[in-house]
Structure 1
Amino acid sequence: MVVLSYVGALLHVVPTVQAIVGLPTFLFLPGYALLLALFPGNKLGHKMHGPASGPFEWNASLSLVERLALSFGMSIALLPVIGLVLLWVGLGLDLFVVLSALSVVTIVGIAIGEIRRRRLQPAEQFHIPVRQWYADVAESFGRPSRIDSLLNVALAVAIVFAVASLGYAVVDTGGGESYSSLSLLTQDASGEFVAADYPSALTAGEQTELFVSVSNFEGEATSYTLVAELQRVEQAGGETTVVERQALGQQTKTVADGGTWRTKHNFVPALTGENLRLTYYLYEGEAPAEPSTETAYRSTYIWLTVNEDTASAADETASSVGTESMAVPV
């Protein structure tokens, strides 16, 4: 099984096949090997005594059911320990490094366990009763009752289907959620980008700077259109209606899967008043003539108060506002 795991990782075979041969190496064999080294005996209803300390005696035996159940728990417990050791020695958590470490634990554990097992009496040695299982199955199929045979076939099919489903669920990433994130950022005194300290009061005619970040987790390269507007809204009956809007520009960018697009947005507000909404809409592909929260793929906003400037300054800037909006990405 260890060799098959290496072959599956090297050849990049079908993910489900990789899971079927790889999951035992990660979740069963290391714990099984460790238990075999610690408990090489078969549980026969009596204790196999070893070194004693007071009333406690070493019992070097486990039943098959106990061994199988504990193998999973031990393997899961070993994974973080092995990971920490690999990080501590500077080897990292590469697939082949982790697989090699688990293989060493498995091989060493089985070797020690086999040595200790052979020192026991044949009747006391642990072994998997494969022949007995085969005989029982063959006997059940040889019975005249067709119902027993059909039940055995159904059970075998169910086990195979369950194992295949588990492998597919573990390795399949196609069913994972794909999404894009949109966030509004500011830059603090140290130059770090933070989603905080947004401006709350601006002055008409004065330029303001914000940053917009778009992250792509769609599973493929995606073309986005980012649209910005300053809006005056009315809220009534639980609904929000845009009654006046100032376009602050838009920008299009194709972002690779897993990539992040951060752009600096310089804008000059012309609308004045309280509770104005600075809104950013994100679209996949082109944006409509009148963007809205209902049609946008993602949207975010902050509330602003824009105070009036002197009359002359306001008149000078009102005609040019909204023409220079999305600056060069940073």
Structure 2
Amino acid sequence: MAGNRELPLDLLIVAGFILITNIFVLVPVLSGSFLRTCLGIFLVLFLPGYALAGAIFPAKKDLEGIERAAISFGLSIAVVPILGLSLNHSTWGIREVPVLIEFSVFILLMCVVAYYRRRLLPEAEAFRVSFKTYFSSVKAKILEKPESKTDKIIVFILVFSILASMGSLAYIIGNPKEGEHFTEFYILGKNRTTEDYPTEFVQGEKGTVIVGIVNHEYRPVDYTMEVRLENRYLPLPESQKQVSLGNNMSWEEPITFTPPFEGKNMKLEFLLFNETEKTVPYRNLHLWINVTEEA
């Protein structure tokens, strides 16, 4: 069998598209643009299925142009939940950068498989993209009279459904509905876990915890965090922190405190106030600590 040595144009375009999408997602000055959203939609809804279809159907005769486009959407819808589920059970979780890396690696890997399988075919039989021929084929499928009226209706419904799905998803992502308004407030131990908190002190000894705030209020908020022991303020600046956050912004810093008096089972409180209520804590957390007299 003759090997097709020339790198396929469609696979080069896919690789270039992945590179551009990564740039728009990872570069801060570009990550806020609407184009980033459009690129992300295409990366999720079309490219995984297109690359997989290329790996499964390397020959021209396997699929026609419009059929290859339609099955690319269908395979993407089938593959994306599997990729998401695998990432959800990994140590990275479903976050922006891990999702981007996983999708990019999967698509590029399928492109490599598709290229290898096309090389095994005679050059005349391997699938190649000629955009002029491709769009002429799509136009003929849609506008010219097919074998029957039923075929024409099916093709129209298929194309309309794909375009409607992409448009709806773009609108939803571009105009997200507001969810519940809330603020995350948490403390972590020295190893950044929900354990190993400092609870045993000698009077005058310092303790450190990591305090985090995440704003999901759909508006900028000015927070005030106070630290109290047995409802008494700790010495400034340990006892108070001012934090201003925009929507979906987060703040996390180590907070060091020094219990000023001894006692057992004392309540060390971390109180979070928002800009609208200065007397009643909006969120509160606490630790129970023991402070003994210095030997």
Normalising by the residue count of structure 2, what TM-score does the alignment of the two structures yield? 0.45
Larger Rg computed on CA atoms: 1
Q: Which structure dedicates a bigger proportion of its chain to strand?
A: 1
Q: Which structure dedicates a bigger proportion of its chain to helix?
A: 2
